[in-house]
Chains A and B, each alone.
Chain A
């Protein structure tokens, strides 16, 4: 078995729409070790959520390959898929709509255990209490309904549900964006604690770059379905090779008066992902655009050890 928990090769997911093919995810390649976190960043519509949903097998990939624990799960179905569900889990963005409003905390956490484990009824009840304990939910809340709880506590239920079957890999789709900063910090700490405890791997999808900097070992930057840059978190914040990453990082408002950085203001907005033209998709907004950029799609290459970038002028800009 390889050292990687998950290997993804040239993954593509297209949707057929009335106006043409929507290239939601267009060629994503990465590998993830057990216990590590890969952060996926990009703006709305860049395909980060579609990527997450494809990896948990909520969506069928159009092309490419997903290897999980050495096994090809690209087109997993039936029994294989059901087994995978215990190993790969997901935490959703909105704790307000991802929980069943008619189920109590206990029932919500019990559900995955009922469906997918061989435990007796009694053991399951014990397991629920243990999970509540792990995620920091007081036992007196077991019979509360989601509407009685605040966003932070609801997200704790979401985490407990994801942890219920001892997964190895969790896709976290904007798990803290709906929460206030003081609560956000509590949830991030909780996620780090369970990761260390249970040696979990996360795919952490977010648009908040300071959160991803805090959580991730590696960061994958996406733009309009394509990956533009992939490297370790520390390197990415030191040296960005893709002009989009540079603009993205420069746009983060920093809560400090000294470190005001020179902002690169991008012109224009994301173009449509439906039937995108050839060439680099960032070209219309790129300050360094050349003729080659609009003619030829840049391939992802290793510009420095462990630092992948998809740009014709990668490395020379900035």
Chain B
């Protein structure tokens, strides 16, 4: 087994807003090994992006802050780094692909210069060398190098996302965080971009944290999956474990909500109700109000993480048989 690259331990991140304290991330722990792809799945407001920003220490402060927990990249504790140390890590050892390629690029800089900028920042090299590297990276993501001097508005959405990928990969990071990298793209372009990320990952042995709400995308590219709901990881395991044996009622509900392309069902079985208010998460399981198998215990006390077979973990009272009720 490869060694652990990213290790998040009991992370809590919160935002202090006018409407109260928003507990965006509530005690999550996860590990990513070198060269591995972890899919972080959840709906809007589940805390996926906050997790990513916490890793990069980019939580806007105020209103947000990491309340407790530790994040390690290899041996280095990111949560203890100074801002100056973080600047050396961002874009170099960890880089990020943002959801919307339309707004992630600077409209007044040529795409080539935006790639070269990252190289200049993190590597000791001349302007000419950086430009050379920029051209190589453009070719790597399938854009002819002669478009180096063109501006983002001259590119289509799929090509802009490739430029963003080129920027993210410029310094061959150890960890790549991709926040919904294909959500803004059409399916045929999405297929191209996913293929590109996978092939580049193979070449550079980069670990990927893929944030998405699309279980189809996860099935295609991830080896590990973490399902997030209301700031908690409710289920975690290998892709096989999650897809063959989904255990948490929320995960099961998610699978049932997706219309299938292979089979026509008359009615979908949606999850009833809405996401809980993140400023008022009670003491119980956050999914309890929407859960079809909810018991009184679920409403009173937050479930512990239960270990199933292998690495499969689930945070649900249903699997706590034999545990004493307290």
Residues in A with CB closer than 8 Å to B275 are 150
Given contact pairs A189-B267, A192-B267, A207-B187, A181 touches B261 in the complex (Cβ within 8 A)? no
Residues in A with CB closer than 8 Å to B282 are none
Which of A13-21, A62-70, A120-128, A252-260 is found at the contact surface with chain B?
A: A252-260
CB of B208 to closest CB in A, whole Å? 16
CB of A208 to closest CB in B, whole Å? 8
User: A192 CA to B270 CA in the complex, in Å?
Assistant: 13
Which among A214, A247, A265 has the greatest number of chain B C-beta atoms within 10 A? A214
Smallest CB-CB separation from A254: which chain B residue?
B216
- Is B215 among interface residues, defined by CB-CB distance under 8 A? yes
Chain B 183-203, CB-CB to A under 8 Å as 1, else 0, gives 000111111101100000000
User: A254 CA to B127 CA in the complex, in Å?
Assistant: 45
CB of A274 to closest CB in B, whole Å? 14
Which among A150, A213, A237, A255 has the greatest number of chain B C-beta atoms within 10 A? A255
User: A260 CA to B256 CA in the complex, in Å?
Assistant: 19
Which among A182, A186, A252 has the greatest number of chain B C-beta atoms within 10 A? A182
Asked whether, in the complex, the Cβ of A257 is within 8 Å of the Cβ of B261, the reply is no
Residues in A with CB closer than 8 Å to B240 are 257
Smallest CB-CB separation from A43: which chain B residue?
B186
Asked whether, in the complex, the Cβ of B259 is within 8 Å of the Cβ of A251, the reply is no
Asked whether, in the complex, the Cβ of A269 is within 8 Å of the Cβ of B259, the reply is no
- Is A27 among interface residues, defined by CB-CB distance under 8 A? no
Smallest CB-CB separation from B274: which chain A residue?
A150
- Is A180 among interface residues, defined by CB-CB distance under 8 A? yes
- Is A266 among interface residues, defined by CB-CB distance under 8 A? yes
User: A169 CA to B93 CA in the complex, in Å?
Assistant: 55
Which among B43, B213, B216, B268 has the greatest number of chain A C-beta atoms within 10 A? B268
- Give the number of residues in B that approach A within 8 Å (Cβ atoms): 47
Extra contacts besides A189-B268, A213-B260, A251-B191 (7): CB < 8 Å? A181-B254, A182-B271, A185-B257, A186-B270, A186-B272, A189-B270, A255-B255
- Is A210 among interface residues, defined by CB-CB distance under 8 A? yes
- Is B253 among interface residues, defined by CB-CB distance under 8 A? yes
Asked whether, in the complex, the Cβ of A257 is within 8 Å of the Cβ of B244, the reply is yes
Given contact pairs A185-B268, A188-B259, A210-B261, A180 touches B44 in the complex (Cβ within 8 A)? yes
Which among A181, A247, A249, A263 has the greatest number of chain B C-beta atoms within 10 A? A181
Within 8 A of B (CB), among A225-251: 233-234, 237, 247-251
Asked whether, in the complex, the Cβ of B219 is within 8 Å of the Cβ of A255, the reply is yes
Can you list 15 A-B contacts with CB-CB less than 8 angstroms, sorted by A residue number? A181-B213, A182-B43, A185-B270, A188-B259, A213-B259, A214-B268, A247-B188, A250-B191, A254-B219, A254-B220, A254-B261, A255-B216, A260-B220, A266-B188, A266-B191
Residues in B with CB closer than 8 Å to A215 are 259
Asked whether, in the complex, the Cβ of A256 is within 8 Å of the Cβ of B219, the reply is yes
Asked whether, in the complex, the Cβ of A253 is within 8 Å of the Cβ of B219, the reply is yes
* Number of cross-chain contacts by CB at 8 Å: 122
- Is A165 among interface residues, defined by CB-CB distance under 8 A? no
Asked whether, in the complex, the Cβ of B262 is within 8 Å of the Cβ of A259, the reply is yes
Chain A 195-224, CB-CB to B under 8 Å as 1, else 0, gives 000000000000101110111000000000
- Is A278 among interface residues, defined by CB-CB distance under 8 A? no
Asked whether, in the complex, the Cβ of B261 is within 8 Å of the Cβ of A209, the reply is yes
Chain A 167-188, CB-CB to B under 8 Å as 1, else 0, gives 0000000000000111111101
- Is B100 among interface residues, defined by CB-CB distance under 8 A? no
Smallest CB-CB separation from B257: which chain A residue?
A185
Smallest CB-CB separation from A179: which chain B residue?
B44
User: A136 CA to B307 CA in the complex, in Å?
Assistant: 39
- Is B92 among interface residues, defined by CB-CB distance under 8 A? no
Asked whether, in the complex, the Cβ of B156 is within 8 Å of the Cβ of A260, the reply is no
Smallest CB-CB separation from A193: which chain B residue?
B267
Contact among A180, A186, A210 with B259 in the assembled complex (CB-CB below 8 Å)? A210
Given contact pairs A183-B270, A257-B239, A269-B156, A251 touches B261 in the complex (Cβ within 8 A)? no
- Which range contains the number of A residues in contact with the other chain? 35 or more
User: A99 CA to B243 CA in the complex, in Å?
Assistant: 39
Contact among B213, B220, B262 with A180 in the assembled complex (CB-CB below 8 Å)? B213
User: A185 CA to B269 CA in the complex, in Å?
Assistant: 7
User: A152 CA to B273 CA in the complex, in Å?
Assistant: 10
Residues in A with CB closer than 8 Å to B267 are 189, 192
Contact among A207, A214, A259, A263 with B186 in the assembled complex (CB-CB below 8 Å)? A207
Asked whether, in the complex, the Cβ of B188 is within 8 Å of the Cβ of A213, the reply is no
Contact among A182, A185, A209 with B187 in the assembled complex (CB-CB below 8 Å)? A209
Asked whether, in the complex, the Cβ of A248 is within 8 Å of the Cβ of B259, the reply is no
3 cross-chain pairs, A with B, having the tightest CB-CB distances, nearest first:
A253-B216, A185-B270, A214-B259
Contact among B194, B215, B244, B264 with A234 in the assembled complex (CB-CB below 8 Å)? B264
Asked whether, in the complex, the Cβ of A255 is within 8 Å of the Cβ of B156, the reply is no
User: A247 CA to B195 CA in the complex, in Å?
Assistant: 14
User: A264 CA to B219 CA in the complex, in Å?
Assistant: 17
- Is B158 among interface residues, defined by CB-CB distance under 8 A? yes
Contact among A234, A237, A265 with B195 in the assembled complex (CB-CB below 8 Å)? A265
- Is B265 among interface residues, defined by CB-CB distance under 8 A? yes
Residues in A with CB closer than 8 Å to B259 are 185, 188, 210-211, 213-215
Residues in A with CB closer than 8 Å to B274 are 150, 152, 183
- Is A98 among interface residues, defined by CB-CB distance under 8 A? no
User: A197 CA to B56 CA in the complex, in Å?
Assistant: 51
CB of B291 to closest CB in A, whole Å? 12
- Is B159 among interface residues, defined by CB-CB distance under 8 A? yes
User: A213 CA to B240 CA in the complex, in Å?
Assistant: 26
Chain B 79-96, CB-CB to A under 8 Å as 1, else 0, gives 000000000000000000
Within 8 A of B (CB), among A151-171: 151-152
